[in-house]
Amino acid sequence: MAYPIKCPDCDSYSFYYRSDRTGNVRRYECKDCGSVYIATLKGMPSKSVISEPKNMNSDALYWEKVIV
């Protein structure tokens, strides 16, 4: 069972997909604390295209914080 993805910084469930995908790269933003992260699906090449993840949890993704 997939669970909603929580913000790695504040554990808020107000953590949403923010921008268009470019290959296997997604941008997420937390509406509570303002953190922005880039996520890639584990085990998939970066040039592969993924659709909006519906049944995925945060353990299926690699996370990198964007410093703005």
Is residue 9 situated within a structural domain? Answer: no
Global pTM exceeds 0.75: no
Number of domains in the chain: 1
Q: Domain containing 25: what range?
A: 15-66
In order of 17, 21, 24, the CA distances from 11 in angstroms are 15, 23, 24
By the 8 A CB rule, do 3 and 56 touch?
A: no
Is residue 21 situated within a structural domain? Answer: yes
pLDDT tens, the chain, 68 aa long: 445 788 999 999 998 887 655 667 788 899 999 999 988 877 776 666 555 555 566 777 888 999 86
Is residue 30 situated within a structural domain? Answer: yes
Is residue 7 situated within a structural domain? Answer: no
DSSP conformation class of 6: P
Q: What is the pLDDT of residue 34?
A: 94
Is residue 48 situated within a structural domain? Answer: yes
Is residue 1 situated within a structural domain? Answer: no
Closest CA to 29 of 12, 42, 51: 12
Is residue 10 situated within a structural domain? Answer: no
